[in-house]
Copies of this chain bind each other. A is one copy, B any other.
Amino acid sequence: MPLPPPPQRSFASDNASGAHPDVIAAIIAANEGHAIAYGDDDWTLECQARFAELFGSGVETLLTFTGTGANVLALTTLLRPVDAVVCAAGSHVNVDEAGALERIAGAKLLDLPTPDGKLVPEQLAELASLLDNEHHVQPAVVTITQSTELGTVYSPAEVAALSEQAHSMGMKVHVDGARVANATAALGSSIAALRSMTIDAGVDVITFGGTKNGLLGGEAVVFLDPDLATRARFVRKTITQLPSKMRFVAAQFNALLDGELWLRNARHSNEMAARLYDAVAGLDPIEVAKPQVNGLFPTLPPVAIGPLQAWSFFWEWDTAKHQVRWMTSWDTMADDVERFAAGVAAAVAA
């Protein structure tokens, strides 16, 4: 059975999308005259004020280009020699950043297994035996991903419990929030929801994602505890993440934070994933869990995977299990979902 016309937009990743029109408009508006480079400009000041307002606190915000750069900036700022970062085994920082932290910070990642991408306090507690022993690296920061690489979401209580355990061991807490907007949308879609799982839950620093949520490119590292940021701007430069014409990164974020565009984009993306779930969940023999955010991780008949990828590309997630990943984006249209689901239906029926 031939496949129907493919969707116009890809389900490969939320970074296959382009920039939201408001973001483009903000760049054009910022492209007026001269501005001193490296952040000494009005757009960057506005951006810092917007993040302080978002978190309701005197946070310290630094803009960067990439998520890997943002994570390395946040973590390197917190680490001394021999300090280690605790993370989930499947986390982006452990698997998908090509060893950036090891190279740049010279630090070890202590990666722990998880069934669902989420660390639990007991896993931190088990690392206490490493502390104060000179033969071992010293757990100093725990980094969690919200929402996780597996599409799961930490509840505010779960983050708070992890923070409490971490802080009791002298550790700091970092959130890789490449998709924190999607997690916020899932947890109530409000600024209060964002705060409840970050600043109110004891998180010390967060990578606040922009690129996957409608920017051309840009991430923000927000030190919720600004006392930890003393050296951050030096670190940003040394890790190559200091934007020269900073105004253009700031302007993008200003557009994203204006009128809660970041939440609107994320809600839409989550809704498209839910819609895709509704369309494919009943297709035998697909097995797929109901999405919490903007990704589905279905298992497919092996013979269907290749033809579907050739038709509209997506990534395999766990080859051994024939599990793939379908991501929706801020600009995914209902028509894209319908076409994609139709193609899947045709392929698995074949």
Contact = CB atoms under 8 A, between A and B. Distances in A.
A15 B135 CA distance: 15
A100 B76 CA distance: 13
Contacts of A157: none
Given A27-B24, A37-B15, A97 B237 contact: yes
Contact of A95 (B69, B136, B329): B136
B72 A98 contact: no
B138 A248 contact: no
A290 interface: no
Interface string A80-124: 111010000000000111111011111111000000000000000
A10 interface: yes
Contact of A33 (B9, B238, B313): B9
A156 interface: no
Interface in A33-48: 33-38
A216 interface: yes
Contacts of A105: 81
Copies in the complex: 4
Nearest to A68: B240
Interface residues of A, number: 77
A10 B36 contact: yes
A30 B16 contact: no
Contact of A100 (B17, B238, B313): B238
Nearest to A320: B126
A82 to B, nearest CB: 4
Given A68-B242, A217-B245, A237 B31 contact: no
25 contacts: A10-B34, A10-B36, A16-B36, A18-B31, A19-B31, A19-B245, A24-B31, A27-B27, A65-B65, A65-B217, A66-B244, A68-B242, A69-B241, A81-B105, A82-B237, A96-B136, A97-B135, A99-B238, A100-B240, A102-B108, A103-B238, A104-B106, A104-B240, A211-B244, A216-B248
